[in-house]
Amino acid sequence: MSRAGRIAEVAVPLPVPHTFTYLIPDEYRDAVGRGVQVRVPFGRREIEGFVVDVGAASERKGLKPILKVAPGGAVFDEKMLRLTHWISEYYLVPWGEVLRTALPGGVRHRPGRKLAARAARDPWDVPASGLPREAFHPTAEQTQAIGEILGALGKREYAGFLLFGVTGSGKTEVYLSAAERVLSEGGSALVLVPEISLATQIVGRFRAWFGDRAAVLHSGLTARQRRETWDRAHAGELRVILGARSAVFVPLTDLRLLIVDEEHEGAYKQEEVPRYHARDVAVIRATMERATVVLGSATPSLESMENARRGKYRLLQLSERIEGRMLAKVTVADLREEGKESRAPVLISDLLRRRMRETLDAGGQTILFLNRRGHSTFVQCRDCGHVYKCPQCDVTLTFHLERRFLRCHYCNHVERQVETCPSCRGRRFFYRGAGTQKIEEALREQFPEARVVRLDADTTRRRGSQADLIGAFARGEADILLGTQMVAKGFDFPRVTLVGVLFAEAQLNLPDFRAGERTFQLLTQVAGRAGRGPSPGEVIVQTYIPGSLALAAALEQDYERFFAEESAERRELSYPPFSRLVNVLLDGASESQVAAVAQVVRDRLDAELKKAGARGLILGPAPMPLTRLKGRYRWHLTLKGDGGTKMRSALKSLLEWAESEGPSRRSVRVGLDVDPVTML
């Protein structure tokens, strides 16, 4: 190579849709290669970036040199560069932003450092639990599922499975058996869960089978512990990693199995840049690494089930509960009937109250589910009707009992509750829209002797408090577990015989095409918490609309019906999985400006689609359902199309235009959300 010098392409974590070229100073000639972290001048600043390519210098003059190179070589290997590049292309986000997200702790990495001889103590102190390895005798359905997965693992080619197993059917043991085979053959496995703090049980079971070869990535780790886990995974010391969304980037060596538990969960989608979906990235990673991927759920997303139907995944079914335990019996408490007698809304119906009493007397445990925290979701003046609202967001303020304050659940704005109405000076208020605190109040009144544990974002703010509360209930130190969706998921408490759903349609009427699917999934999950021990369970669902599809199908625990009817509707309206959506998000401080820019962006997108020869339907521009959030006005355009390369290139041009000459130069931000999970 001549002394003319060499250049590097550097991806920077900034909202620019391309990489930048820098000169490699002679002193760094050997140190700079693909995947290396560097410091570069950028405008008047210096920033961190990642080298994604190196080559001989071209004619181009005026290139700036790399300032510094992080020691220790590449932080990303070729596989990870390929995966992150795919994410950047598919989700139309800057490669540098993806790389920054994929780096543990997002900070400078020092690989090559001698690993501590003693394995770092894992601060996630979850004891081994569940069936020990020796005691596991698979059922016929489990044997079948395990057999198919092991068969695929033996081929060392990509294979995708959808493990559709009702709640309590023993999916975790299927995962464990597959992971065991992989480990015994020297490979490694990655297990993704929607939220690590709710995954203590699955973690305990992996501990029981794999001991120190398994580790957990969770938010309680320091950046350093995180890096250490990465290094040990990369070095092949750790063979199983369990973690949430971002664990999909852990560079496990010889990765042969990826498991995505509760694949239908929205938590797999990151709602900030880069907006990727970890389940879908896991599938792509599996194809790139010729690994096997298993998506598990009792209520598969329409997307995954449709993929299984089209043969993209092989469907494995566990249709029976372990030891022939019955799915709980579900009964409706029709609040329309109950409500006739009383003027105030019914919180706990007669039926539920009776069953709770019986359960208490029999020494059983009850779970009560209400997907709203706080005391009341809004406070209204009785005299003039004034409702307390957030000054920055288009939502009502939620009343919290402890210190009688009002809080915005979107931006955290807090107000002391005023004694007099700000608009008419009235002194009497309605507290409407019951939340978990109000229910707790009602329970203390109606079941004074019952020991109640409340589990929601307010009682679990302190680190570790969540595990404490769950532990107390698991040990039988409480009779009633009351909470938000935290109580709905994954728990396996054999003494729970009664589950009460206090307001089934709380989520159903949101302006989002997935509201029905989410309600169905949540209700099925909650119902699955009952009857996991030897005594059968009962679920009581309180609702005003027992006839709606999401509710009726959940009441019958009939996934097939839900899937068939919901699919038909989505197909008719051309919603996913029968089309691809891209949300074009706009936000700014002035609503009229956002609205005007939204129209310009729409015209531009229209033109770009035509130019690219892509077919697509643009909806909007329209204000988003939560129009004002944190003081910014939010509008969107929704593009429905086939998601193909033409659509993608039109969107890419749109972004380039927005960044270079269009609105992003001004005060309106333009962003894309590919395959959006929430439309609010």
- Which residues in this chain contact ligand ADP in the complex, by CB under 6 A? 130-131, 136-139, 142, 165, 167-173, 322, 492
* 54 contacts 34 by C-beta, under 8 angstroms: yes
**CA 621 centroid distance within chain:** 27
Identify what 167 binds: ligand ADP, Zn ion, none; CB under 5 to 8 Å per kind.
Answer: ligand ADP
Contact between 410 and Zn ion (CB under 5 A)? yes
Least Å distance, CB 179 to ligand ADP, is: 13
Nearer to ligand ADP, 304 or 349 (CB): 304
Least Å distance, CB 392 to Zn ion, is: 5
Identify what 492 binds: Zn ion, ligand ADP, none; CB under 5 to 8 Å per kind.
Answer: ligand ADP
Least Å distance, CB 408 to Zn ion, is: 3
Give dist(CA 95, CA 100) in Å, integer: 9
Least Å distance, CB 564 to ligand ADP, is: 23
Nearer to ligand ADP, 171 or 632 (CB): 171
Least Å distance, CB 461 to ligand ADP, is: 28
Starting at the earlier edge strand, list the strands of the sheet with 632-641.
Answer: 616-629, 632-641, 580-588, 669-674
Contact between 389 and Zn ion (CB under 5 A)? no
Angle CA 96–101–102, to nearest 5: 95
* 378 contacts 432 by C-beta, under 8 angstroms: yes
Peptide bond into 663 cis (omega under 30): no
Least Å distance, CB 325 to ligand ADP, is: 8
Nearer to ligand ADP, 136 or 575 (CB): 136
Least Å distance, CB 385 to ligand ADP, is: 47
Which residues contact residue 182 at a Cβ distance below 8 angstroms, ignoring those fewer than 6 apart? Answer: 153, 188, 189, 239, 256, 257
Question: Contact region for Zn ion (CB under 5 A) — 302-310, 388-396, 613-621, 654-662?
Answer: 388-396
Identify what 408 binds: ligand ADP, Zn ion, none; CB under 5 to 8 Å per kind.
Answer: Zn ion
Identify what 170 binds: Zn ion, ligand ADP, none; CB under 5 to 8 Å per kind.
Answer: ligand ADP
Count CA within 13 A, CB hemisphere, residue 268.
Answer: 21
What distances in angstroms separate CA 500 from CA 42, 167, 265, 471, 486, one per listed residue?
Answer: 57, 17, 22, 20, 14
Least Å distance, CB 243 to ligand ADP, is: 18
Identify what 393 binds: ligand ADP, Zn ion, none; CB under 5 to 8 Å per kind.
Answer: Zn ion
Least Å distance, CB 397 to Zn ion, is: 8
Nearer to Zn ion, 20 or 410 (CB): 410
Contact between 392 and Zn ion (CB under 5 A)? yes
Strands in 262-420 per DSSP E: 292-297, 314-318, 329-334, 365-369, 376-381, 398-400, 405-407, 414-416
Interface residue with Zn ion, options 234, 314, 413, 432 (CB under 5 A):
413
Contact between 90 and Zn ion (CB under 5 A)? no
Identify what 262 binds: ligand ADP, Zn ion, none; CB under 5 to 8 Å per kind.
Answer: none
Contact between 405 and Zn ion (CB under 5 A)? no
Contact between 544 and Zn ion (CB under 5 A)? no
**CA 71 centroid distance within chain:** 34
Identify what 67 binds: ligand ADP, Zn ion, none; CB under 5 to 8 Å per kind.
Answer: none
Name the nearest CA neighbour of 237 among 225, 229, 245: 229
Identify what 137 binds: Zn ion, ligand ADP, none; CB under 5 to 8 Å per kind.
Answer: ligand ADP
Give dist(CA 502, CA 526) in Å, integer: 11
Count the residues of the shown chain that bind Zn ion, applying the rule CB under 5 A: 7
Q: Return the number of other C-beta atoms located less than 10 Å from residue 334's C-beta.
A: 15
Decide: residue 363, CB within 10 A, 0-12 exposed, 13-18 middle, 19+ buried: exposed
* 652 contacts 92 by C-beta, under 8 angstroms: yes
Nearer to ligand ADP, 170 or 621 (CB): 170
Give dist(CA 635, CA 613) in Å, integer: 26
Three-state DSSP at 336 gives: helix
Least Å distance, CB 53 to ligand ADP, is: 44
Nearer to ligand ADP, 188 or 201 (CB): 201
Three-state DSSP at 387 gives: strand
Contact between 390 and Zn ion (CB under 5 A)? yes
Q: Return the number of other C-beta atoms located less than 10 Å from residue 316's C-beta.
A: 24
Identify what 413 binds: Zn ion, ligand ADP, none; CB under 5 to 8 Å per kind.
Answer: Zn ion
Identify what 287 binds: Zn ion, ligand ADP, none; CB under 5 to 8 Å per kind.
Answer: none
Which amino acid would we find at residue 313?
Y
Strands in 277-426 per DSSP E: 292-297, 314-318, 329-334, 365-369, 376-381, 398-400, 405-407, 414-416
Nearer to Zn ion, 283 or 390 (CB): 390
Contact between 408 and Zn ion (CB under 5 A)? yes
Least Å distance, CB 259 to ligand ADP, is: 12
* Residues numbered 578-597 forming contacts with Zn ion, rule: CB under 5 A: none
Nearer to ligand ADP, 199 or 221 (CB): 199
Can you tell me which residue has the tokens 């959030």?
A: 629
Contact between 393 and Zn ion (CB under 5 A)? yes
Three-state DSSP at 51 gives: strand
Contact between 488 and Zn ion (CB under 5 A)? no
Point out which residues bind Zn ion (CB under 5 A).
390, 392-393, 408, 410-411, 413
